[in-house]
Chain A
């Protein structure tokens, strides 16, 4: 039965009725966009179930989880900076870095707990230790790191118990790099294409971003005469982050799409621009207290923007079946090709 509405402007909403061509809307075909980047993978036939994602996208929310990634990097980098300042006699920056590390560590933990579906059950994370679960490993690292960073910060701020303070500073500097890097494994150890496929470079992006943030905080908060190591750390971090990110995007091909487009792409681009501005400002404005502080703020913002970009890109890649199906199809085709040519050794 064909149903349509007759209006003064003619027949509207004509439905095909019995002539409906069933099945033509199932299994959408992916059409290549005319404009923009060409996909690296040949646009072979792509089908999906009504365009619905294959994966269930992460339920992790912003700002909790991207904030947790950013603050973990900031805390880890700052603890290293603090230990170095203690060793080289830069008490002003040491106190700033210790306080920053502790605050970032606590907030990072708070973000993680707040994002749990059952926050009161946080301690369930500590009923087991599993190296196969980066979140389990991370919970144990954080539960060692945060108290240690807290003692270091309190001793520095109050000036009491210097020996315990020194031990706590050393302890948090030892755990700091782990705090900054484990979150990369955490996001990579998922089926989310943009996160998983980037796993070799991801930790370098993360520690680079952490060093950028820690250097930025040092430039922002430390007295003028003590900022040189913070500036150097920020430049090192920004360089490593940008280089690792570029390498990752190039290697993973079409799966890197969400790092360049959409919300994730906008954050990543903002991070890049802020990073370059901050690095330039920190280098050129090294004599100026104000220029240094402004560069520090830009570097902190750059690190945060990168983390938010990675978060949103991951969400986008999980929500689009293209990023799951096309690389897997490609893998199957290559495996079939290898199997067909017995002369070639099988890919290990």
Chain B
């Protein structure tokens, strides 16, 4: 496998030095320009099946890989956070007690590439019957029946009548870099340290990043951050090194409930659509996909989610837009302003001349 010989973080087709100038012109730049054309969602000219790896200079590339994080089965165990830190040598960061449920990592950043959000709400979860009691159940008798207990008998307790106070649901969601189709961090990086891999993911080359910090406010999701004492920008690599060797990312591997699912994006989208339908039929009408649609402001996420409430409840932006979508207009306005300044300066001298004459 030819890919094995490659160093992680530096694919053969995007070498450093002067050659990367041309790569950028042919790859990241072309992609970025294609990704910054029209208002309202997907850029004009970008097809619905816009292929970020192909426009970044990988004519022959593996399928686009990503994550589908199904938060409806997340149990908040944080195995993903730990596995990510272990595999990627991510420092512990400045952890302190926050009092925000069971969340002390607060959000994504340089030292948190997977972040598990905890939200406690007074809402029933689908057909859940809260407040069940088990006092009058003979568990030994049930156990003696073995696994042969029929479903009817297994329904062991009647629900206690309870008011709204008994309703509780606990939302847990493992957040991660979205690996956007149109990635603002990648567009604005002035060194070319951020690059698009052959898997369609977005990776920072740690030996190129000079810590300018531009990618940080450019990200509409607040994913990437600057590491203290290091100065460089860091974020999820979708375990690029593991992908090259045909392995799944550490977080997905460690997830005990398969809340984090890894695979080709097309497949994940199909699976996610099926899962939403299944949940709706089960009465979980709150279930919705986030970041799945290629029609959204970033052209769809490489890592998308099934959520049980509005995105902002989880700390996600409800309608993110890649900032470089407006860049052509920004440059046009800057050009007009530069012209205005030149005309103004000329006018200042002309007025001085007229003033002297009069």
Contact = CB atoms under 8 A, between A and B. Distances in A.
Given A124-B210, A184-B337, A189-B323, A117 B231 contact: yes
A21 interface: yes
B162 interface: no
Interface string A270-283: 00000000000000
B348 A232 contact: yes
B20 interface: yes
B218 A132 contact: no
A118 B206 CA distance: 11
Contact of A27 (B32, B119, B323): B119
Interface in A177-217: 177-178, 180-182, 184-185, 188-192, 195-196, 199-204, 206-207, 210-211, 215
Given A80-B341, A125-B190, A185-B330, A21 B122 contact: yes
Interface stretch (B47-55, B251-259, B281-289, B349-357): B349-357
Contacts of A103: none
Nearest to B30: A132
Contact of B341 (A47, A136, A180): A180
Contact of A115 (B123, B189, B213, B219): B213
A118 B187 contact: no
A55 B345 contact: no
B347 A232 contact: yes
B341 A210 contact: yes
Interface stretch (A149-157, A257-265, A322-330): A322-330
Contact of B318 (A196, A237, A314, A332): A332
B37 to A, nearest CB: 12
B184 A191 contact: yes
Interface string B215-239: 0111111111110001111000000
Nearest to B324: A132
B210 A121 contact: yes
Interface in A109-163: 115-119, 121-122, 124-125, 127-136, 139
A132 B337 contact: no
A80 B168 contact: no
Contact of B217 (A22, A230, A318): A318
Nearest to A233: B348
A334 B345 CA distance: 43
B31 to A, nearest CB: 9
A49 B313 contact: yes
A127 B73 CA distance: 46
A94 to B, nearest CB: 12
Contact of A77 (B224, B226, B313, B345): B345
A314 B40 CA distance: 24
Contacts of B3: none
B317 A132 contact: no
Given A177-B342, A228-B355, A232-B351, A56 B316 contact: no
Contacts of A164: none
A58 B341 contact: no
Given A27-B119, A127-B16, A328-B318, A207 B337 contact: yes
5 contacts: A23-B119, A56-B223, A124-B192, A196-B326, A233-B348
